[in-house]
Each structure stands twice: as structure tokens, then as C-alpha cells.
């Protein structure tokens, strides 16, 4: 009789434990996202593209995924603090297009997957070992193509008839890529580097230098030190009637810049969501090859061209993927 009672009690306990386990809520994954543009009220096109990518994969923010956003434009000096905060919150993955944030994340954690949307060459910047085998806890997508700088310069010459002297505006820590130099020689252009101090950039002086050198075109090399001054740079280019070409679209042309030739940012940021999905399902970042862009876009701001007295050749307007009027 006691044996029957024992087995009955055991069976009841097993049913209870099983039911209790089934009733436990499933953990909702939490993602940290550090954005180099926008704010909580206006996150921008790139963040919206990432969100669209999540939705396409069946994720709904607040229901089966939580994304903690941090925006650097309002607090450019707090990138490391944002990374530390998100790591301490034990997010399941970190996403960013900021090289500084990605580097800080790698120094802070070796276990949390880091999904980069790299603005430059992730091998050259030391973020990964190789595209096929990134190693460590970083993977993602690159907006860089080695041949793109040369192509961008070629497009610039077609966009601005008579282009002869081109400057490359960059933070002092950033050097002119060899591919710009090689393309300039092929196109018989004079190329000049215009560096600004990353910590305290003097863009007024930079544009004065451009005028003194009689440059008739300027390529802006994006970086965290440059991007935060988007409005000022665009206004200076317009006021100096200097045609401007940008390495990423990312709002530069929409803000009044002349043109950009780059990877399709929206497609790239949307693709980053696929990597988030993979690591949440157990994939290791070291085993996920970094993707390079396959789609590129030319964006032209026709209003900006008129403001600086530039007539865009009709064939270039026809080739443009987007024309802002």
C-alpha cells in the first residue's frame, strides 16, 4: 500500500514539475544597438531598415525581441559608456556601424556576439582576421568594396565636368586610401589630403585650405569624428560652392550634400538583422563570414547642384538611383 502511495505521489510531483516548467515564460532576446546618427524621436533611415529586417524575420519589438537603442550624435563622448552599459545589461548581441563602438565592444566582451555594419575595411581596421573566417566574437556586413574608391572618383569626374583638383577631407587619424591615389593617377587628377583634428576639428580652416589649393571637388571620408558635423560640413561646401562627394549616403545628400556613391545602405542595414537572427539561434560569430556589399547606389541632390551653380550632365541624372530635387 505504501508503495502505491509512493508512486502516486511521485507521479503527481512529476506532473506538477512538468506543468510548472511549461508555464515559465520564454526568455525574450535583448539586443543592444549603438547608432551613429539620429535620435530616439527620429532614428533615421538606417535604423528603420534594420527594424524592417527584423520584422521580415518574424521579430516584433516589445513582443519577441527587445532592442536597446543608444544614439551617439547627442553624446559623442559616451560611446564606451554605452557599450559598457549594454554589456552589463547582458544583451544577447551588440549591433553598431561605429568602428569606435565595435572596437570598444571587443575590448569589453569576448562572449557577447558583436554584429558590425562596418563603414570601412574591417580587416584593415583590425576588427577581424578575414572576411571568410572573422574569428573572435565579431561578424556582420561591410559597406566597403576595395574597388569602390576608384569608382567613386571616376563617377565624381563625370558628375563635375572639368574636375581636376580633388581634396579628401578626413580626420587626422584616417589616411587617403591607396585606391584613391591610384585612381587619381589614372584619371590624371591632382589629389590633396585635407586633415582635421579628430578631437577638435576646424572645418572653417579646412575649407580655407581647399580654397587656397584651388580645389574644385571634395570627397568627405566618413568617420565618427566627421559624421557628427554633417550639417556644418554640408553648409561649408555649399557656401564655398564646392562640389562634394560622400563615401556613404547615410543622410549626407539628404542634408544638402551634392552626391554619394556607396553601397546601398538600406540593404546593408537590413541584412544586419539576418546576422542577429543567426546568433540568436546559436550560430557563432567566428563561423559566420562577413558579407561585402553587392548593390551600390548613386544619389544626387539636384537642389544642392543648383545652389553651387553646377549643371549635372543629363546622362548622370539618368544613371542616378535616387535624385533629390
Cβ count within 10 A of residue 246: 27
Write out pLDDT tens, residues 56-107: 999 999 999 999 999 987 777 888 999 999 999 999 999 999 888 999 999 9
Q: In terms of C-beta density within 10 A (0-12 exposed, 13-18 middle, 19 or more buried), how is residue 86 classed?
A: buried
Write out pLDDT tens, residues 212-243: 999 999 999 877 678 878 899 999 999 999 99
Mean of pLDDT over the chain: 88
pLDDT of 188 reads: 95
- What confidence tier does 314 reach under pLDDT thresholds 50, 70, 90? very high
Distance between CA 159 and CA 214 in Å, rounded?
Answer: 18
> Going by C-beta distance under 8 Å and a sequence separation of 6 or more, which residues neighbour residue 273?
50, 51, 52, 53, 54, 56, 57, 59
Comparing CA positions, the residue from 67, 83, 57 lying closest to residue 29 is: 67
> Which CATH superfamily, name and number, covers 30-144+265-294?
Response regulator (3.40.50.2300)
User: What is the CATH T-level fold of the domain 148-263+297-324, as seen in this structure?
Assistant: Rossmann fold (3.40.50)
Write out pLDDT tens, residues 116-153: 998 777 887 888 989 999 989 999 998 875 568 899 99
Give domain limits for the chain: 30-144+265-294, 148-263+297-324
pLDDT of 64 reads: 97
Q: Are 30-144+265-294 and 148-263+297-324 equal in CATH topology? A: yes
Write out pLDDT tens, residues 245-257: 998 876 889 999 9
- pLDDT above 70 coverage of the chain, percent: 88
Instruction: Evaluate if residue 1 carries a pLDDT over 60.
Output: no
Distance between CA 305 and CA 312 in Å, rounded?
Answer: 7
- DSSP letters spanning 134-145: --TTEEEEE---
Amino acid at each position: 500500500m505504501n508503495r502505491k502511495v509512493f508512486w502516486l505521489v511521485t507521479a503527481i510531483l512529476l506532473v506538477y514539475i512538468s506543468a510548472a516548467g511549461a508555464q515559465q515564460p520564454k526568455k525574450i532576446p535583448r539586443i543592444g544597438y549603438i547608432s551613429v546618427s539620429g535620435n530616439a524621436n527620429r532614428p533615421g533611415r538606417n535604423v528603420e531598415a534594420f527594424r524592417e529586417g527584423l520584422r521580415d524575420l518574424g521579430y516584433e519589438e516589445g513582443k519577441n525581441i527587445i532592442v536597446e537603442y543608444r544614439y551617439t550624435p547627442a553624446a559623442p563622448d559616451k560611446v564606451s559608456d554605452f557599450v559598457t552599459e549594454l554589456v552589463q545589461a547582458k544583451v544577447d548581441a551588440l549591433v553598431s556601424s561605429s568602428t569606435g563602438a565595435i572596437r570598444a565592444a571587443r575590448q569589453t566582451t569576448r562572449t557577447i556576439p558583436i554584429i558590425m555594419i562596418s563603414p570601412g575595411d574591417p580587416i584593415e581596421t583590425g576588427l577581424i582576421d578575414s572576411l571568410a573566417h572573422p574569428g573572435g566574437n565579431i561578424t556582420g556586413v561591410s559597406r566597403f568594396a576595395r574597388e569602390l574608391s576608384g569608382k567613386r572618383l571616376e563617377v565624381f569626374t563625370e558628375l563635375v565636368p572639368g574636375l581636376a583638383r580633388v581634396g579628401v577631407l578626413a580626420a587626422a587619424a584616417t589616411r587617403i586610401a591607396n585606391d584613391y591615389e591610384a585612381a587619381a593617377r589614372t584619371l590624371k587628377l591632382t589629389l590633396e589630403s585635407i586633415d582635421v583634428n579628430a578631437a577638435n576639428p576646424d572645418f572653417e580652416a579646412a575649407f580655407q585650405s581647399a580654397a587656397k589649393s584651388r580645389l574644385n571637388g571634395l570627397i568627405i571620408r566618413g568617420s565618427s569624428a566627421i559624421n557628427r558635423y554633417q550639417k556644418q560640413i554640408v553648409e561649408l561646401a555649399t557656401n564655398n560652392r564646392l562640389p562634394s562627394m560622400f563615401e556613404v549616403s547615410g543622410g549626407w545628400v539628404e542634408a544638402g550634400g551634392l552626391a554619394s556613391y556607396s553601397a546601398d545602405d538600406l540593404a546593408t542595414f537590413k541584412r544586419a538583422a539576418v546576422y542577429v537572427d543567426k546568433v540568436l539561434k546559436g550560430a557563432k560569430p567566428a563561423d559566420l563570414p562577413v558579407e561585402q556589399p553587392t548593390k551600390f547606389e548613386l544619389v544626387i541632390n539636384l537642389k544642392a547642384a543648383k545652389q553651387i551653380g553646377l549643371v549635372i550632365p543629363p546622362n548622370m541624372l539618368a544613371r542616378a538611383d535616387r535624385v533629390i530635387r
